[in-house]
Amino acid sequence: MMLEQGDSAPDVALKDADGADFTLDRYRGKPAVVYFYPKADTPGCTNEAKDFTELGADFAKLGVPVVGISKDKPAKLKKFADKYGLTVTLASDEPGAACEAFGTWVEKSLYGRKYMGIERSTFLIGADGRIARVWPKVKVKGHAADVLEAAKAL
């Protein structure tokens, strides 16, 4: 079940694009954006990461880091970030613990075939560590700007 507004954000272990370990606890005490995307270097995921990167300075002025999470290996994330000049933090949840904890690992259907995958979702986490806003089933166009507006309201 996907986390909802008011829930505590779980502290999950991840690897960054360089393969270094970190947890979401590093952002405690300040707001943060955590977005989940299905797969690096696919059209929707690329556009989403580029949009968040384009607004990176605006998020930084607010003191709101942006973390994109997928189940891709760190090396693939590094290649993805380098290819498109992405400046958002990309994190690998290869084992799937973060996807499970946030409730973004769901059954999907494509042409009648059912499979498990990441539901494109974004979570705005307040400085208190609670979910301030959730965007489930994200449509990429204009999404990063919507998240920025919500972050300004914190």
- The reply to whether 6 falls in a domain is no
Q: Is the pLDDT of residue 75 over 90?
A: yes
Q: What is the CATH number of the domain that holds 137?
A: 3.40.30.10
Per-residue pLDDT tens digits for 44-63: 999 999 999 999 999 999 99
Strand order through the sheet with 121-125: 21-23, 13-16, 89-92, 66-70, 32-36, 121-125, 131-135
- The reply to whether 115 falls in a domain is yes
- The reply to whether 28 falls in a domain is yes
- The reply to whether 2 falls in a domain is no
Per-residue pLDDT tens digits for 134-149: 999 999 999 999 999 9
Per-residue pLDDT tens digits for 93-144: 999 999 999 999 999 988 999 999 999 999 999 999 999 999 999 999 999 9
pLDDT at 98: 97
DSSP string, 36-93: E-S-TTSHHHHHHHHHHHHTHHHHHHHT--EEEEESS-HHHHHHHHHHHT--SEEEE-
Residue 58: domain span = 13-152
Rounded Cα–Cα distance for residues 21 and 60 (Å)? 22
- The reply to whether 145 falls in a domain is yes
pLDDT at 139: 96
- Looking only at the bridges linking them, the beta strands covering 21-23 and 32-36 are unpaired
Q: Is the pLDDT of residue 5 over 90?
A: yes
- The reply to whether 4 falls in a domain is no
* Mean of the per-residue pLDDT values of the chain: 96
- The reply to whether 3 falls in a domain is no
Count of domains for the chain: 1
Catalytic residues: 45
pLDDT at 123: 98
Query: How many residues are given for the chain?
Result: 154
